[in-house]
Each structure stands twice: as structure tokens, then as C-alpha cells.
Amino acid sequence: MKTSIRKLLLFLCFVFVGAALYGFYLFNKRPADIRKSAASYSLSADSLLHIYDKDEARANKQFLNEVIAVSGVVSRVIIGPARDQATVMLSTIDPLEGVTCSFYDDQADALKKVQQGQEITVKGVCTGKLMDVVLNKCSIQN
């Protein structure tokens, strides 16, 4: 009888410690490193914008928080206003709208080599659309 109580207490201790460790792990877990994640969708900047312009709510259901790879022509590379903040604008057939790609801070040096007019593929997390469709946590895929 005493042995079985001891075993039960030991088991409960393991469960408690396990739950506490799992809770601690979950609480402190960093957001996923998108540079290492596979893209769920690959499409052109024009296609992405077209899908959003056609039906924004539906596009959000498909793309929001998804890792996507977007190909397009660089219209602008912006470093700043914060130190190491790096953004690439991909142009589309619409002169007023495009895809804004906000890069990981450590990508600022790599982006200095990217030229206006260059065709690139950017991987990042889709966060929705304001004037542009916006990707966060971006990195260059090619």
C-alpha cells in the first residue's frame, strides 16, 4: 500500500514538473524563424495584389500569417528610419500599389547589394494589406 502511494506521488511529481517545464518552454518560446521555414505559397507580386484587390477578406483567409514567397521587380530599397530597418518595395502593374517587404534586421547588409529594377524572390509572413500587401520577417530567397 505504502509503495503504491509512493509511486503515485512520484508520478504526480513527474507530471507536475513536466507540466511546469512545458509551460515555461511555451511561455518563452521565440517566434518561428521564417528564414528557415518553407513557403506555403509561391506567386508573383502582381498575382498577390490581384488576389487581394479582388476580395481582401478571402485573400486574408488564404494568406494571413502564412509564409509566402513573392517574386517581383524591386522598385525601392529603404534602409531606416530605425537602425538596421530594411524594407524592399516590389512593384506591380498598378503604379500606386505593390508589395512592401519588411526584412529581418540582420538582412540590411545583404540588401545593400539589391538594385532598383532587379527581379528577386522574397520570403516572408503575410500580415495583410493597407495600400500594399505587407510581408514581415522577410529574407531574399534567390
Partner 1 sequence: MKNILLGALVLGCFQFGYGQNRFFTKTGIISFEAGTAVEDIDAVNKSTTSIFDASSGQYEFAVLVNGFEFKRALMQQHFNEDYMESDKYPKAFLKGTISNIAAVNFKKDGSYPVTIKGVLTIHNVSRQIEVPGTFIVSGGNVSAKSQFDVALDDYKITIPSLVKDKVSKTAKVTVNCAYTPL
**Contact set for partner 1, span 47-106 (CB under 8 A):** 60, 64-65, 78, 80-82, 85, 87, 89, 96-97, 100, 102
Which residues are CB-contacts of 66 (< 8 A; sequence separation ≥ 6)? 40, 41, 125, 126
What is the grid cell recorded at 97? 500599389
Residue from 3, 31, 117, 142 binding partner 1 (CB under 8 A): 31
The whole-angstrom distance between residue 1's C-alpha and the CA centroid of its chain comes to 56
Q: Does 139 bind partner 1 (CB under 8 A)?
A: no
Residue from 74, 90, 122, 134 binding partner 1 (CB under 8 A): 134
CA distance 67 to 65: 7
The amino acid at 62: Q
Q: Does 30 bind partner 1 (CB under 8 A)?
A: yes
CA distance 113 to 110: 6
The whole-angstrom distance between residue 77's C-alpha and the CA centroid of its chain comes to 19
User: What is the nearest approach in angstroms of partner 1 to the Cβ of residue 3?
Assistant: 38
User: What is the nearest approach in angstroms of partner 1 to the Cβ of residue 130?
Assistant: 5
Interface residues with partner 1 (CB under 8 A)? Answer: 26-32, 60, 64-65, 78, 80-82, 85, 87, 89, 96-97, 100, 102, 127-132, 134, 136-137
